[in-house]
Amino acid sequence: HDLVSMLLEHFEEASQSQSDLSRLIRPYTAPDKSQTWRTCTNGDNKMGYTCGLWQLFHIMTIGVVEYNRHNNPIIPTRQVSEILRNYVEHFFQCEVCRLNFLDMYDNCAFDGCHRLSDKPSSNEHDWRELPMWLWETHNDVNTRLLGERMNQNNEPKPSQWESQQARWPSLYICPNCWREDKSWEEDEIFNHLHSMYWSGNPSYIKIPSEENEPNKSHRSIWKLGGFLLSVLSFVAWFVRLSKAHHHSGRHKKVDH
């Protein structure tokens, strides 16, 4: 947390230029240059952005539950989901991904328009609807992408078992999360999300760095700092909007 605290304290300076950011974070980089830590990339440094973005969203939604447990005023779940939606609309560069997510959100996929509320609630079950809604949305995306990939390869449609395997967590990782009829245990799923994204035990892949790559450490520092700065910018934007209590009402759909 020292690096994050430092960047928050020197946010204006860190956002001035690449050289300023690199200078600020260099004292916090690991002395061992023989290996670097990666997550979401599966060993390919050109991959991982979308995976990392989903992880950030999961951390944020679980964080709302944690915040509401210990703070006042309560943050309404709809307020947070609107921020996620608008972030995707304005900053997600994958056009197809962006349009698909906006279509799901604006059309109240997974009953989001009723499960998420723009009014504060003192009931933790209401707060949990946010990370659970995002989890259902993410798994739907995974299942759809599996079908598209198999269709592109001229393979048969995914079987029920294959579709189940595309959903996270797998039966192997969390056997108590799933019932025999393929439905899920909500409390078990939430607890698994919490342990994964909030309990301080993230899973990383340790990959040997390439030898004799020029300016390797400088680029690694910049990538690390750039990612952290993006996260901090997102958090700062979230805090500003939370304080403003801005509600557009654009996506409310209530049956009469």
Mean pLDDT of the chain: 78
Residue 142 has which token pair? 């995974």
DSSP of 219-239, one letter per residue?
HHHHHHHHHHHHHHHHHHHHH
6-20, 39-53, 240-254, range with the lowest pLDDT = 240-254
Using pLDDT thresholds of 50, 70 and 90, give the confidence band for residue 52.
confident
Task: Please state, in angstroms and rounded to a whole number, the distance separating the CA atoms of residues 214 and 226.
Answer: 20
Position with higher pLDDT, 194 vs 49: 194
Strand segments (E) across 62-213: 205-208
CB 105 within 8 A of CB 80: no
DSSP of 124-162, one letter per residue?
HHHHHHHHHHHHHHHHHHHHHHHHHHHHHTTPPPPPHHH
Q: What percent of the chain has pLDDT over 90?
A: 39
Position with higher pLDDT, 211 vs 172: 172
Q: Omega into 214 within 30° of 0, i.e. cis?
A: no
pTM for this entry: 0.69
Q: What is the pLDDT of residues 155-164, one digit of tens each?
A: 888 887 788 8
Residue owning tokens 């301080």: 200
Q: What percent of the chain has pLDDT over 70?
A: 71
Torsion sign over Cα 135, 54, 208, 227 = negative
At residue 149, the pLDDT reads 87
Which has the closest alpha carbon to 173: 155, 154, 191?
191
Q: What is the pLDDT of residues 181-226, one digit of tens each?
A: 889 999 999 999 999 988 754 444 333 444 334 444 444 444 455 5
Which has the closest alpha carbon to 163: 182, 189, 143?
143
Residue 56, H or E segment: helix 49-70
Residue owning tokens 């001035």: 16
Q: Is the pLDDT of residue 106 over 90?
A: yes
Which has the closest alpha carbon to 191: 93, 114, 124?
124
Using pLDDT thresholds of 50, 70 and 90, give the confidence band for residue 228.
low
Task: Please state, in angstroms and rounded to a whole number, the distance separating the CA atoms of residues 192 and 150.
Answer: 29
At residue 30, the pLDDT reads 61
CB-CB neighbours of 64 under 10 Å: 22
At residue 206, the pLDDT reads 39
